[in-house]
Amino acid sequence: MRLLLLSNSTAPGQGYLEHAMDTLTETLAGVRRLVFVPFALADHDAYTAKAAEALAPLGIEVVGLHTGDPVRLLRSAQAVFVGGGNTFRLLRALYTRELLALIRGRVANGTVYIGSSAGTNLACPTIRTTNDMPIVQPPAFDASGLVPFQINPHYLDPVPGDPHMGETREERIGQFLEENDVPVLALREGTWLRRRGSSLTLGGSDAGARLFRRGSHPSEVATGTDLSWLLTITARFH
């Protein structure tokens, strides 16, 4: 199984996917045809064109999953890229089209999976650690389970003295852990996870990640850390 799960698709002052181009090039080595899943945003054509433009220098043909028979498209592609946007909208679209199991099956059989933001949430067992607004109601929160733990993309550290009285991200993840016994890997912007078979590594910027587990203080994870043990945990959702 080959996965690349990005916290974010765009870094400040850079173009779409530019900050991750080296790891994308490596992950997509040998891939000629990629299916793009644009359902997290409203304009599927425009979103697919943006992804195609970003990946053109790699010589990869990008086809939108909305442009034809999705089963045939997924079977003919060597990679699938699920773009960011609203996770609830993305998940509902995949349930409506009955594509979740197909994507999971293709990736288990060797199709490369790339996700950014909402696409990274989709690789988790559930979307319960998304930051997105629940603008539409999917039939369930269960996602593709390409990894057995939860990821929180776009992780933001608490800001001391912030007068805003809404929950910090750390508090929100703490509430998740009150209800579920599942580790949450919070990816700061510019970082990503790479899975190759039973190997899992944190990559990207030096910002690193933060790991939240029930009953423990959160711990820092440095970029480059081998996190393969996270693929062997047992998740307990309630």
Asked if 27 is part of the footprint of a copy of itself (rule: CB under 8 A), the reply reads: no
The stretches of 109-216 forming alpha helices (DSSP H) are: 118-121, 169-179
Give the residues across from 152 on adjacent strands. 186
Q: Does 165 bind a copy of itself (CB under 8 A)?
A: yes
Contacts of 123 (CB under 8 A, 6+ apart): 3, 5, 82, 113, 115, 143, 144, 145, 146, 147, 151
**Identified binder of a copy of itself from the candidate list 117, 120, 144, 191, rule CB under 8 A:** 117
> Cα 28 from chain centroid?
16
Does residue number 159 form part of the binding site for a copy of itself (CB under 8 A)? no
Where does this chain touch a copy of itself (CB under 8 A) — which range of 48-56, 59-67, 167-175, 202-210?
167-175
Helix ranges, the chain (H): 21-27, 44-55, 70-76, 87-96, 100-108, 118-121, 169-179
- Residue 127 found at the interface with a copy of itself (CB under 8 A): yes
Q: Report CA-CA distances (Å) from 194 to 24, 91, 123, 135.
A: 10, 22, 12, 30
- Between 10 and 111, whose beta carbon lies closer to a copy of itself? 10
Question: Judged by CB, which is closer to a copy of itself: 2, or 172?
Answer: 172
3-state secondary structure at position 49: helix
Catalytic residue list contains 132: yes
Work out how close the CB of 130 gets to a copy of itself at its nearest, in angstroms, rounded to a whole number: 7
> One of 154, 181, 205, 228 is an active-site residue; which one?
154
Q: Are 119 and 10 in contact (CB under 8 A)?
A: no
User: In a 10 Å sphere around its CB, with 0-12 CB exposed, 13-18 middle and 19+ buried, how is residue 154 labelled?
Assistant: middle
Compute the distance between CA of residue 140 and CA of residue 109 in angstroms, rounded to an integer. Answer: 25
The reply to whether 99 sits near a copy of itself by the rule CB under 8 A is: no
| Residue of 29, 109, 160, 164 that binds a copy of itself (CB under 8 A) | 164
Total residues in contact with a copy of itself, by rule CB under 8 A: 41
Active site residue 162: no
Residue 236 interacts with a copy of itself (CB under 8 A): yes or no:
no
The closest of 203, 196, 204, 207 to 231, measured between CA atoms, is: 196
Per CB under 8 A, does 198 bind a copy of itself? no
Binding of a copy of itself at residue 109 (CB under 8 A)? no
For residue 102, the tally of other CB atoms under 10 A from its CB is 16
Interface of this chain with a copy of itself, residues 42 to 61, rule: CB under 8 A:
42
Q: Is 117 a catalytic residue?
A: yes
Q: Which residues does the annotation mark as catalytic?
A: 117, 132, 154
Chain residues that interact with a copy of itself, rule: CB under 8 A: 8-12, 42, 85-86, 89, 117, 126-137, 140-141, 153-154, 156, 163-167, 172-173, 175-176, 178-180, 189, 238
